[in-house]
């Protein structure tokens, strides 16, 4: 029988911190002479089986290994076990900006400017980073959002989750027309299918800046991701409503970053210089502490995880030990990454077309009932199935599936594993005890 983290590994899982559309994050304790708390990030089982998923996941490890900054997460190791690849990082107590905003509402202008300045300082260093030969590394984060900015207990900002970041040395190509990230924070050129650049990251910072002070009104909330994306292309993703107490210097800095033309946004260094006179992080540590206490109430119990076995990585030495960083997943728009997981080279011919009428795939039916009042986005096996407001009956391929419900506005997430045979009728009701599908494998709800 395969060993697990609790019994024979160097790591003992304490709790599950977060689950997203692509992966999950655990808080664990490293065993041995020098015990320490670490964060373990891994792909969800159904994602790890998809073509190219492992390579994309380890691309993040390569970037973290290449880049160096005290406000970036640093790797302890990268590896792979029977359930797929994993990353192990240092754990720093704190809360994401999303958790801070949900717990206490908008920040003061001074605190928001301090958060933006720290973030811009990291971003400037990464945009200007060079490789060993002295050539620009060409780093672009591509997924900046409050979920990926972490405040530690001292109120310091850490830039997290390089899962879809890119550099000139990245081994993966972004397929034409494949969008990755969160539509609300995407620059217009990205929504139009263009190439991401440092100016695209700056646009995302502008959206975050408006959100931090309560000036952002997101549009198309509650819609399926694909629908929201298409509407954002036509109508925009948000509106701005500035409070009269917001200084003009803050408003002008943010609005310049939100210019529709990349060249008109300036640079991250220029935006930092504009905001620096306003910055005062005095109350950030208190806000982070309150959000941390709130998040502790929602920690998900640890679950057995296969033993972590280190693997060599691109023929290089194992990644050295380093301090600082915590990695939380928040790839809320991973549905399109899952659906477009197979990438072909530009010169690879398409597969031959076979003649004849294919046999229909065996299907099953599944009825899903909501866990609590509200509107939840339903995904099955990484594919969106609409919005759940009461109950939803869907026809799905027979087999094993990961069923998830998400409500980003309230930071709610529910997940179960189901296994249905051809023609079977299944039911998931989060209000009842686990085992809603008799004789089938299910997982307890994870609120």
What does DSSP say about strands 425-429 and 391-397: parallel, antiparallel, or unpaired?
unpaired
**Digits of tens for pLDDT over the chain (447 positions)?**
344 443 346 788 887 777 766 778 888 888 877 788 898 888 877 777 777 777 778 777 777 777 777 888 778 888 877 777 888 888 888 899 999 999 999 999 999 999 999 999 988 888 887 777 777 777 888 888 998 899 999 999 998 877 555 554 444 344 333 345 578 898 999 888 888 889 999 999 999 999 999 999 988 777 776 777 788 888 888 899 999 999 999 999 999 999 999 999 999 999 999 999 999 998 899 999 998 888 776 554 444 444 454 443 333 333 232 222 322 233 333 333 333 333 333 334 333 333 334 345 578 899 998 888 888 888 887 678 888 888 899 998 877 777 888 876 676 777 777 777 778 888 888 765 443 333 333 333 443
Please calculate the CA angle 29-31-37 and round it to the nearest 5 degrees.
Answer: 25
Would you call 373 helix, strand, or coil by DSSP? coil
Of 161, 63, 70, 164, nearest in space to 122 by CA: 70
For residue 101, the tally of other CB atoms under 10 A from its CB is 19
Distances from the Cα of 326 to the Cαs of 41, 76, 148, 423, in angstroms? 10, 11, 10, 44
The model's pTM is: 0.65
pLDDT in tens, 157-178: 998 877 555 554 444 344 333 3
What is the DSSP-derived secondary structure letter of residue 444?
-
Neighbours of 54 (CB within 10 A): 16
Give the ranges where 280-415 is alpha helix by DSSP (H): 284-296, 335-339
Q: Which one is catalytic: 81, 143, 201, 407?
A: 143
Tokens representing 422? Answer: 């051809």
Per-residue pLDDT reduced to its tens digit, 184-198: 898 999 888 888 889
Report the helix count and the strand count for the chain, using DSSP H and E: 11, 18
- Name the CA radius of gyration of the chain, rounded: 22
- Based on the residue annotation, tell me whether 143 is a catalytic residue of this protein: yes
DSSP 106-143: SPPHHHHHHHHHHHHHHHHHHHT-B-TTS-B---B---
- Among 302, 218, 215, 287, which residue's Cα sits nearest to residue 252? 215
């Amino acid at each position: 029988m395969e060993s697990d983290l609790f019994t024979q590994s160097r790591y003992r899982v304490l709790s599950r911190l977060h689950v997203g559309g692509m992966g999950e994050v655990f808080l664990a304790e490293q065993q041995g002479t020098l015990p320490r708390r670490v964060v373990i990030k891994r792909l969800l089982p159904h994602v790890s089986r998809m073509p190219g998923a492992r390579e994309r996941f380890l691309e993040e490890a390569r970037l973290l290994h290449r880049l160096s900054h005290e406000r970036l997460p640093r790797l302890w190791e990268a590896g792979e076990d029977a359930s797929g690849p994993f990353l192990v990082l240092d754990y720093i107590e704190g809360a994401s900006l999303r958790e801070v905003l949900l717990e206490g509402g908008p920040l003061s202008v001074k605190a928001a400017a301090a958060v933006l300045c720290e973030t811009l300082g990291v971003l400037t260093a990464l945009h200007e980073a060079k490789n060993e030969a002295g050539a620009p590394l060409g780093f672009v984060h591509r997924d900046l959002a409050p979920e990926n900015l972490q405040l530690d207990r001292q109120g310091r900002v850490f830039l997290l989750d390089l899962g879809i970041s890119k550099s000139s040395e990245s081994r993966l190509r972004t397929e034409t027309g494949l969008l990755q990230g969160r539509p609300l924070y995407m620059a217009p050129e990205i929504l139009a299918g263009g190439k991401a650049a440092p100016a695209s990251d700056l646009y995302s910072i502008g959206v975050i800046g408006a959100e931090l002070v309560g000036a952002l009104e997101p549009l198309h909330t509650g819609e399926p991701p694909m629908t929201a994306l298409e509407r954002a292309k036509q109508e925009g993703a948000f509106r701005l409503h500035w409070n009269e107490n917001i200084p003009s210097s803050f408003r002008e800095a943010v609005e310049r970053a939100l210019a529709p033309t990349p060249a008109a946004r300036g640079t991250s260094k220029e935006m930092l210089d504009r905001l620096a006179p306003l910055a005062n992080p005095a109350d950030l540590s208190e806000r982070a502490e309150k959000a941390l206490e709130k998040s502790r109430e929602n920690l998900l119990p640890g679950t057995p995880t296969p033993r972590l076995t280190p693997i060599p990585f691109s023929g290089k030495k194992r990644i050295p030990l380093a301090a600082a960083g915590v990695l939380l997943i928040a790839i809320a728009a991973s549905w399109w990454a899952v659906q477009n997981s197979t990438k072909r080279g530009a010169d690879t011919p398409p597969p031959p077309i076979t003649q004849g009428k294919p046999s229909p795939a065996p299907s099953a039916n599944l009825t899903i009932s909501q866990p609590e009042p509200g509107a939840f986005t339903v995904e099955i096996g990484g594919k969106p199935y609409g919005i759940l407001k009461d109950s939803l009956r869907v026809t799905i391929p027979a087999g094993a599936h990961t069923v998830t419900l998400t409500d980003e506005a309230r930071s709610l997430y529910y997940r179960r594993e189901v296994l249905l045979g051809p023609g079977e009728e299944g039911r998931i009701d989060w209000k009842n005890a686990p085992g809603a599908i008799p004789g089938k494998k299910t997982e307890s709800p994870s609120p």
